[in-house]
């Protein structure tokens, strides 16, 4: 009698050990990535939490620079130093070994290098700005020395959940500190609020910022493990979003939900083209809306900002005016208005600040993320998160400019860091999927091998290793 040879004991034990070692490596990568993510989140939120526990928010014109309290400034610097030390530790402990997707790394670093070059051209390079760019560079390099998985997305959801719960407690316990004030410094005078006569700003300098952060955080809240917790936190997040009275944030969150729900119903054979066409139409609006606007009063005076910014952009269309241009011109009378802290549109701001070079670099990043996100839209859970986030960013970018370069900025975590993180994680996931498709399972028969009825190949060679009876 002939029978298939069973696995030897040594073979049985080797595979689990190899898998366990690999699992430990990946778990360590995720653990380090979670720590880095938490530190960046703290950098964008904790100083503000300390700031507004001691004083109320201030409604400032674009010409006025917000100044933190000494304690909040010291905490911000401390967190920045911790980020630098931890990112440096990760990079050095991995021997500065860049793990896959080097082209994405070069793209991200080039975007920040171009921004730093703009500061140098303006003569605005300071010690603190150098520290900011050094911090961002180390964050990016550390992420590329790691191989984080999609398990990190749920951790982002938990961090956003903490912000949601804290914001509600803050609003109920200390309204004077949690609400955004009028120019006169009063609360209860808002004419644009959805709830009562106040706009919730929480730990951020503006209520719109809170709305943007929550809108971009909802895709990750949907990944919380327990269904009851997920639904409760989602309901609280929507409450905070509405309370912030951020119309752009509410629009982005609602638009992303509706569009993703529709696209997931498209037949599989049409899914790819429909997703791309829909996404490109939405992206085209970001460009066409300001280009076709001729009324300065359109979109709550954004028309004036768009018209003035595009007119100035032609003065240095290739290289742009530099990252600090809006704050610089705000010191003087101009046609943009006293609220023009940015171009209030991704296309307008990027062209004005970084020129055509900056615009091309940013567009490459956006399209790269779209390529990665669109491939996973028909999946479930974390695989859909990336597209939900991407479409939310694009929806927000029609009326806001949300990209920031300083790790101390309120929006750094929710916009800049998460875009880089998603680029890294999805790039690795895409490579894993490609390798899984190319590598046949162990013990499988190559597709080019034809079997005969007796278990031999066409060449007559037996495909089973046997031992005699």
Q: In this predicted model, what pLDDT tens digit does every residue of 105-133 receive, in sequence order?
A: 999 999 999 999 999 988 888 888 899 99
Q: Looking up tokens 């010690």, which residue turns up?
A: 127
- pLDDT confidence tier of residue 274, bands split at 50, 70 and 90: confident
Do the Cβ atoms of 359 and 151 come closer than 8 Å? no
Q: In this predicted model, what pLDDT tens digit does every residue of 312-361 receive, in sequence order?
A: 888 899 999 989 888 887 766 666 766 678 889 999 999 999 999 999 99
pLDDT score, position 175: 87
pLDDT score, position 294: 93
Q: Does any domain span residue 272?
A: yes
pLDDT score, position 458: 45
Q: Which domain holds residue 418?
A: 29-63+76-429
Q: Does any domain span residue 454?
A: no
Lowest mean pLDDT among 192-196, 227-231, 273-277: 192-196
Lowest mean pLDDT among 75-89, 156-170, 319-333: 319-333
Q: Does any domain span residue 445?
A: no
Residues pairing with 466 in the sheet:
4
Q: Which of 372, 381, 457 is nearest to 103 (CA)?
A: 372
pLDDT score, position 378: 59
Q: In this predicted model, what pLDDT tens digit does every residue of 412-451 receive, in sequence order?
A: 999 999 999 999 999 998 888 777 666 665 555 454 444 4
Task: Report the interhelical angle of 346-374 vs 102-122 (nearest 10°).
Answer: 170
What are the counts of helices (DSSP H) followed by strands (DSSP E) for the chain?
Answer: 15, 4
- Alpha-carbon distance of 191 to 401, in angstroms, equals 23
Q: What is the mean pLDDT of the chain?
A: 83
What average pLDDT does this structure show over 38-63?
A: 82
Number of domains into which the chain is organized: 1
């Amino acid at each position: 009698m002939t029978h298939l040879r069973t696995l030897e004991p040594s073979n049985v034990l080797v595979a689990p050990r190899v898998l366990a070692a690999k699992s430990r490596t990946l778990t360590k990568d995720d653990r380090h990535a979670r720590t880095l993510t938490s530190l960046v989140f703290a950098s964008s939120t904790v100083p503000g939490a300390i700031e507004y526990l001691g004083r109320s928010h201030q409604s400032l014109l674009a010409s006025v620079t917000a100044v933190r309290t000494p304690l909040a400034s010291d905490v911000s610097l401390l967190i920045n130093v911790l980020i630098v030390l931890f990112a440096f530790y990760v990079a050095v402990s991995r021997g500065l070994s860049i793990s896959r997707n080097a082209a994405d790394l070069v793209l991200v670093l080039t975007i920040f290098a171009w921004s730093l070059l703009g500061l140098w051209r303006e003569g605005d390079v300071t010690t603190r700005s150098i520290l900011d760019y050094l911090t961002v560079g180390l964050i990016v390099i550390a992420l590329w020395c790691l191989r984080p998985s999609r398990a990190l997305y749920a951790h982002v959801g938990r961090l956003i959940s903490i912000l949601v719960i804290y914001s509600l407690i803050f609003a109920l316990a200390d309204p004077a500190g949690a609400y955004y004030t009028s120019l006169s410094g009063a609360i209860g005078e808002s004419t644009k609020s959805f709830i009562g006569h106040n706009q919730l700003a929480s730990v951020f300098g503006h209520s719109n910022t809170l709305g943007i952060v929550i809108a971009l955080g909802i895709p990750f809240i949907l990944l919380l493990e327990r269904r009851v917790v997920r639904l409760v936190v989602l309901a609280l997040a929507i409450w905070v979003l509405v309370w912030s009275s951020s119309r752009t944030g509410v629009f982005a969150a609602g638009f992303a939900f509706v569009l993703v729900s529709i696209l997931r119903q498209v037949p599989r054979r049409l899914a790819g083209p429909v997703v791309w066409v829909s996404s490109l139409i939405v992206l085209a609006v970001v460009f066409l809306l300001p280009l076709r606007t001729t009324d300065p009063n359109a979109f709550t005076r954004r028309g004036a900002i768009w018209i003035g910014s595009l007119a100035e952009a032609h003065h240095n269309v290739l290289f742009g005016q530099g990252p600090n241009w809006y704050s610089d011109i705000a010191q003087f009378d101009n046609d943009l208005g006293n609220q023009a802290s940015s171009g209030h549109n991704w296309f307008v701001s990027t062209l004005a600040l970084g020129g055509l070079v900056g615009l091309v670099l940013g567009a490459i990043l956006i399209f790269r993320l779209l390529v990665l996100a669109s491939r996973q839209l028909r999946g479930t859970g974390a695989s859909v998160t990336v597209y939900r986030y991407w479409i939310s960013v694009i929806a927000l970018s029609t009326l806001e400019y949300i990209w920031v370069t300083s790790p101390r900025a309120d929006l750094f975590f929710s916009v800049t860091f998460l875009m880089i993180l998603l680029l890294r994680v999805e790039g690795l996931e895409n490579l894993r999927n490609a390798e899984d498709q190319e590598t046949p399972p162990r013990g499988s028969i190559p597709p080019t091998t034809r079997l005969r009825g007796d278990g031999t190949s066409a060449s007559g060679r037996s495909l089973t290793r046997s031992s005699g009876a």
